[in-house]
Amino acid sequence: MTLDGRRAVTVLSGFLGSGKTTLLRRYLSAQGGAGIAVIINEFGAVGVDHHLIRMVEERSVLLQGGCVCCSRREDLVQTLRELLDLEQSGALPPLRQVVIETSGIADPVPVLFTLATDPVLKHHFAPASVVVTLDALNAATQIERQPEVRKQIIAADRLVVTKTDLAPREAVSRSRMRVRQLNPTARITVSCLGDGFDVLEPAIGIDRAEAIGQAGALQPDADAASLHKDVQATALGFSAPLDWPAFGVWLGMLLQARGPDVLRIKGLLDIGDAGPVVMNVAQHVVHPPEHLPGWPADAHRSYLVFITRGIDPARISESLETFQRAGGRPDLSVTRLS
């Protein structure tokens, strides 16, 4: 158990043939599989003698009045509850992590929604990160033609560029650039034959800050808007600690009004306490904010990255600043970092 006494859940996603299974196999071999359960949707491929592998057939239930991200993965609810029962009855050793490998065309957000909203699971499992694999050989075409791939990249906390032994160096750097354009906060690992598999290891404590993003990614990128005109990524910085109640009012209202066009929000917020608050929103799904005990040594910087569709970033910045000033931070200024 790693996160508030709950079992860490790592979601491993990526398009068909992008190297998810290779990465998972290397990770399980290195870990010896102790305390790790794996949920996959295709049997046979993992090839590791691992008694905690469960196969599921992805089964989503769209909630009435909900958008696409608000669908419940019934298959996962059932499987995770079974694992919990087995562990609690002593039939399984204590679990510390569950890796959920999604199908190639799955959207990872319903998995997060399911973990956040199921009345039993939310007390026992905590989303640790979304890891997405991207095949460097086919990245350009897939990003262009497959909306599923774009969704996966936007949902990613860690992105692993794979097949780099087969792809020319330019293709690898182009893949990195395209990921940056869609999701500047994803931490990118370039992997060859499944190395870099430790991205699947859940981060704890202050390392969570590193795991959710990197301040280095917030550099202005002149080409950022050129390929995906409908998707904008912008980073906001703050001149003073934020007022937390006012932030909650603002973000709740924004997601209610503009939810389908707010694809991702990530960042570290200074709200005047010793450590930052980790914010992580994937579409409508707001991860419970985490309060870290302190700031990472190399990143004492309060920021929020917004990935939106068709919303002028200047309006987000202006709106957040106005709500903060109306809510008790009259001197706070919000600036665009990128």
Partner 1 sequence: MCVLCGQMFSEIHWSERLLDPEAVTQGAGETTRRQNRHARTRLIGKVLAHYGLDVSDDWSATNYVVGNRKGAQQVVASLAELWPAASRMAGRPLDPLDPALLDRLRRPNAETET
Report, in Å, the least distance between residue 26 CB and partner 1.
35
Residue number, 29 or 319, with CB nearest to partner 1: 319
Distance CA 151, CA 203 (A): 23
Q: Which distant-in-sequence residues (6+ apart) come within 8 Å of 306 by Cβ?
A: 232, 233, 234, 235, 236, 262, 264, 265, 313, 316
Cβ atoms of residues 54 and 37 within 8 Å: yes
CB of 311 to partner 1, least distance (A): 7
Q: Which is nearer to partner 1, 101 or 243 (CB)?
A: 243
User: Minimal distance in Å, beta carbon 313 to partner 1?
Assistant: 11
CB of 265 to partner 1, least distance (A): 12
Tokens of 152: 């996966």
Question: Judged by CB, which is closer to partner 1: 140, or 311?
Answer: 311
Closest C-alpha to 262, from 226, 241, 286: 286
Task: Confirm if 183 and 149 have CB atoms less than 8 A apart.
Answer: no
CB 11 within 8 A of CB 157: no
DSSP state of 134: E
Interface with partner 1 by CB under 8 A: which residues?
243-254, 256-258, 271, 273, 277, 286-289, 291, 311, 315-316, 318-319, 322-323, 325-328
- Quick one: which of 160, 152, 309, 304 has its CA closest to 225? 309
Report, in Å, the least distance between residue 40 CB and partner 1.
Answer: 30
Residue 225 · residue 234 · CB < 8 Å: no
| Phi and psi at residue 73, to the nearest 5° | -90, 90
137 vs 277 by CB, closer to partner 1: 277
Residue 235 exposure: Cα atoms within 13 Å on the Cβ side: 25
Closest distance of CB 260 from partner 1, Å: 12
DSSP 268-280: EE--SSSSPEEEE
Please report how close the Cβ of residue 66 comes to partner 1 at its closest, in angstroms.
Answer: 12
The residue among 168 and 252 lying less far from partner 1, judged by its C-beta, is 252
Nearer to partner 1, 10 or 280 (CB): 280
Closer to partner 1 by CB, 131 or 251: give it: 251
